[in-house]
Structure 1
Amino acid sequence: MEFGSNSWKLEESQLNNNSKQDLCGSAIGRTEPTMKEEVERFHKLGVKHEVVKTVLEAQNMMLEAKSRDSKIDQRVGELIEQQQDLVSFKKEYGSTVVTSINRRDREIELVWPALQHPTHHYEHIVDSIPDPEQIHEHSLLSEWCIYKVPTTLLKVKEVSYTPQLISIGPMHHNKQELKEMQEQKHIYYSSFQARLVNKNDLMHYTSFLEHEEQHLRRCYQKKFSNISKEQFVHMIRLDAVFIMELILREAEREKHKNDYLVTQRCVSKSIQRDLMLLENQIPMTVLEKLHEYDTVPSSVKKPTRFIELAHNYFISYYPHQQKSMFEPCKWENKNILHFTDLIRNSYLPKELRSQAKHSQEECLLRTATKLNEAGISFEKVHNRCLLDIKFEKKRFFSWFLCLGCLPRCKLFKARFQIPQLKVDHTTECVLRNLIAFEQCHYPEAPFICNYVFLIDSLIHTKDDAELLVEKEAIVHELGSDQELTNLVNGLCKHVVTDSTCYHEIIEDVNGHYNNKWKWAMGTLRWVYFRDPWRSSSTIVGVVVLVFTIFNFYRVSDMLF
């Protein structure tokens, strides 16, 4: 029914002045009489039954509308007062705020269903608007260094980012499946306490943690409001002492033959894996402070920095070197944030290449088999940082790639030099966490991401993996080359970068591949000079052909 229609208007002849006054007063302020009583009262005054019923229905609708307007205004006023930002509020809730009397009926229709359950309707919207404390937090983004793995990466392979045996820090604290190691932490705590020359050192350390508690909290991307200051300090102290005691025991393993965390390699490797996970970290400053106290036994040469102990502990996670030696000069001016950052820096060369912005088309590289067909040779190199990939060719000699089959004739080769990558069952976990860390903390310097993207562009099929394995650029302990292909292709899923440190290599390789003459020389070498047997067969064939042609001309001269 529309209020503006004429279907409910009363005829002037049916209402005297008293009945009109009574009707208006009832329509505005009276709600107690029932519908039946009102109909009987107006019927006695001479008003038709249908007209009275229609008027009363309109009256009730007007009262309901007025009540709804009041509730809407009250709710809107509360929200505006809470947010103290009317402009932002109208932008968010413009479709539900009553802004015009002429649109009142339409606004009521939109808003009224939500007001039946106001808390349910608004709680997710109001929560999404940051309060001043949250805005202050976002101004401290530069202090974050321990992140929650982005959901897009986590969904690809969650197990690679989740601790299996031990929790470190607040992100996985109190998980039921990791409770077993809490008892071992307390055992290690007692052992570490016995190491101390000064028994008050742990009290001083606790005071240090209490003083730095707020700063330590700001190192984490996620808030932990459910953990009190005392709980937080106790947790960080227990985890730091456990890590320190574990690393010291690893350095003197022969003295701790009864400790299964050290002697059972499957357990020690699992703990080592958990300690490098991005979400399972505590700030390095906490461990460096603990290392300042006199705890290292005389049988172990005390390093000048804790980072040296940590570097040696994770030595098996550096697949690019057979024996990784700690180089103090490399770490002298580096601020290492935690173990994940330590391993990332161990992968980087001393001299970092500059990053260059690129489009998706510019960073594309042909697969290993395609490049090999174009005359590019893949070579393994040792004693070089994993990311130190090079593409070398001589300007003049590279035009005659077919001669590259000759022994010791590297001048005629276009060589793609890749430091040997050793892939085992922990490599994927390590690379995934390094990639996640770079995506969160080093978006402008994604060197690990660049490396993985380059390897991924070379390997699309099993044949590509077989070629690189054959050239020993990659060695692996997986079941098959197909597993290697699946592993490499899955690492870059949902990873986003807009720059690369390999832009010069990509340009040179693509320039070589797109050169028709070099492609022809490469094809000639691939088809006829791929190996010594094929090369010798080709040479013999050419000699026979030349000899046949020579004899043909000689016979022709004799006959004619």
Structure 2
Amino acid sequence: MDEDSIDHNKSVIIDIPTDLESNQWSKCWIHRIPRKLRKVKESAYTPQLISIGPFHHGREELKAMEVLKEKYHQKLLQRLPKDGSVSNQMEEFIRDSYKEIHGRYAGLSNNGFDDEDQAFEKIIMRDACFIVELFQRNDSKKESDDDYILSTPWLKKAIKLDLIMLENQIPFFVLRQLYTITAPHLPSVNVPITQASNHMNPFLKLTCSFFKDHIVKESDWEKFAEIKEIKHFTNLLREFWLPREFIKRRNPQQKDIADRKYLYSATKLDKAGVTFKRASKGTSLADVKISKKPVLKFIPASKGMKLKLPELKLENDTECLLRNVMALEQCLYPKEDYICGYVALMDQLINTSEDVDFLVERKIITNMLGSNKEAARLFNGLCNQIPREKTFYARFYNDLNKFYENRWNVTRSTLKKVYFKDLWTGSSTVVGLFVLVFTVTATIRNVYLRHL
């Protein structure tokens, strides 16, 4: 067997669990990105500055931040009682929770750790303390101004992005418990108190505050008051994007299979008279709605179609966020892949830069990537290696395709856009019709009189 064959076999083994019969795999929350997805765009799944958890621990290019993480760890410990009682309580919690924490990482072995269990516990403790210290500093105005990370905008944004990556996670319950243990000895929380945040866990408030305006808007915190379990930060972002009805009911609808796995583009659907509307502010990213409405109320059979889409702001880090949440759904929520379905829907609607331009005009997309061509390229590549046999939006495909393929809808829409696109054009058209009718009537009358 040649070297290429050996490398290929190794790459396959990495993506397949060693014990396919065990139900332990379903309890894993933090997964390595499947190799097929990683090959599409590796940089979108790989932390650039800081490693969190065991998967990227020890990478040479991330070692520079290890010193800073240890500094934050020590700063947190310095806030605690000098007798070591609280720090001992933290260590005891990590030690007692070892099996549960370790079991949340899919396919994790001790290879590469210096001293097996103790090395793993040390990684979790240091990285968790770094996050707790960073979040509470972010909450303190004075400490935020003096902090190197928080006072350097590009660095803070880059670390936020690394903290969202699926392979760079620590179970949320670990962070929450360590904060609970240390909170009495930390500065008071200055997070704005809202009706929603009153029902939130204190550390969740700090988390939302840290990711505020970058991922989680303060106006949407109320969504998290309804969440029973947050597995980690990537999972938190997905919860923020899920349709609101799904969050409330936690009862996923049956996936539908579309008659055809394609959808006509936004500009083509517009030609058929489909109305594109931006959903109201505060609507979740995947909360797409479709409805039928009469074009003319006095003609019951005359139906139009409206598609309401939430606003999507395209920035430099949008692709990374979408890809990591989509990878999470493929690993952990294959039967509830709302975000994958939403991205597939947008991919179908956007074929060219003209489609992006159309959605920008409708204020459905805010494009900060520099060009509409770049935005179209982004969407056309996001679903590469993502299965699309079934989707929660399949009925949208069927309804919209049938609407477009009804030639009367296209003709009606064309006539409306040519002759009734605005008040002046419509008025001119009506006047022209009256003149035409008057002229034809007068001509017929004259011909009739001549034959008398």
TM-score category of the 2 structures, normalised to the smaller one: 0.7 to 0.9
| TM-aligned CA deviation for residue 419 of structure 1 | 1.3
Q: Distance in 1 between matches of 2:266 and 2:313?
A: 18
Q: Which has the higher contact order (CA 8 A, sep 6+)?
A: 2
| TM-aligned CA deviation for residue 529 of structure 1 | 2.6
Corresponding letter in the other structure for 2:173: T
Deviation readout 1:382-414 (Å, 9 max, x if unpaired): 22222111122225747969x9xxxxxxxx753
| TM-aligned CA deviation for residue 261 of structure 1 | 0.2
Aligned-residue RMSD, C-alpha: 3.2
Matches within 5 A, 1:406-421: 413-421=304-312
Would you say the 8 A contact 1:528–1:538 is kept in 2? Answer: yes
2:404 counterpart SS class: helix
Q: Distance in 1 between matches of 2:96 and 2:235?
A: 25
Matches within 5 A, 1:89-104: none
Matches within 5 A, 1:483-522: 483-522=374-413
Matches within 5 A, 1:465-544: 465-544=356-435
Q: State yes or no: 1:236 paired with 2:124.
A: yes
Alignment gaps of 5+ in structure 2: 194-199
Q: Distance in 1 between matches of 2:164 and 2:8?
A: 36
Aligned to 1:337: 231
Corresponding letter in the other structure for 1:212: S
Q: State yes or no: 1:200 paired with 2:85.
A: yes
Q: Distance in 2 between matches of 1:497 and 1:443?
A: 11
Would you say the 8 A contact 1:378–1:418 is kept in 2? Answer: yes
Aligned to 2:197: none
Match of 1:222 among 68, 82, 107: 107
| TM-aligned CA deviation for residue 142 of structure 1 | 1.7
Would you say the 8 A contact 1:196–1:294 is kept in 2? Answer: yes
Aligned to 2:57: 173
| TM-aligned CA deviation for residue 552 of structure 1 | 1.5
Would you say the 8 A contact 1:308–1:326 is kept in 2? Answer: no
Against the structure 1 CA distance between its residues 137 and 284, is the aligned structure 2 distance closer, same or farther, given a 3 Å change threshold? farther
Aligned to 2:196: none
| TM-aligned CA deviation for residue 533 of structure 1 | 4.5
Q: Distance in 2 between matches of 1:457 and 1:193?
A: 52
Against the structure 1 CA distance between its residues 137 and 502, is the aligned structure 2 distance closer, same or farther, given a 3 Å change threshold? closer
Against the structure 1 CA distance between its residues 134 and 426, is the aligned structure 2 distance closer, same or farther, given a 3 Å change threshold? closer
| TM-aligned CA deviation for residue 348 of structure 1 | 1.2
| TM-aligned CA deviation for residue 498 of structure 1 | 3.5
Would you say the 8 A contact 1:376–1:413 is kept in 2? Answer: yes
Match of 1:307 among 199, 204, 228: 204
Would you say the 8 A contact 1:189–1:242 is kept in 2? Answer: yes
Match of 1:324 among 203, 207, 220: 220
Aligned to 2:267: 369
Aligned to 1:142: 26
Corresponding letter in the other structure for 1:278: L
Matches within 5 A, 1:349-498: 349-352=243-246, 354-359=252-257, 361-383=259-281, 384-394=283-293, 397=296, 413-498=304-389
| TM-aligned CA deviation for residue 216 of structure 1 | 1.7
Identity %: 35
Q: Distance in 2 between matches of 1:492 and 1:394?
A: 32
Corresponding letter in the other structure for 1:388: D
1:162 counterpart SS class: coil
2:381 counterpart SS class: helix
Q: State yes or no: 1:153 paired with 2:37.
A: yes
Please, what TM-score do these two structures have when normalized by structure 1?
0.70
Against the structure 1 CA distance between its residues 312 and 125, is the aligned structure 2 distance closer, same or farther, given a 3 Å change threshold? closer
Match of 1:282 among 166, 170, 176: 170
1:292 counterpart SS class: helix
Q: Distance in 1 between matches of 2:7 and 2:439?
A: 92
Aligned to 2:145: 257
Corresponding letter in the other structure for 2:99: Q
Mean Cα displacement is larger for which, 144-153 or 232-241? 144-153
Corresponding letter in the other structure for 1:306: F
Over alpha carbons, which structure has the higher Rg?
A: 1
Q: Distance in 1 between matches of 2:160 and 2:448?
A: 83
Q: Distance in 2 between matches of 1:247 and 1:222?
A: 29
Deviation readout 1:454-473 (Å, 9 max, x if unpaired): 11111111111111111111
State how many pairs are aligned. Answer: 428
Q: Distance in 1 between matches of 2:361 and 2:177?
A: 48
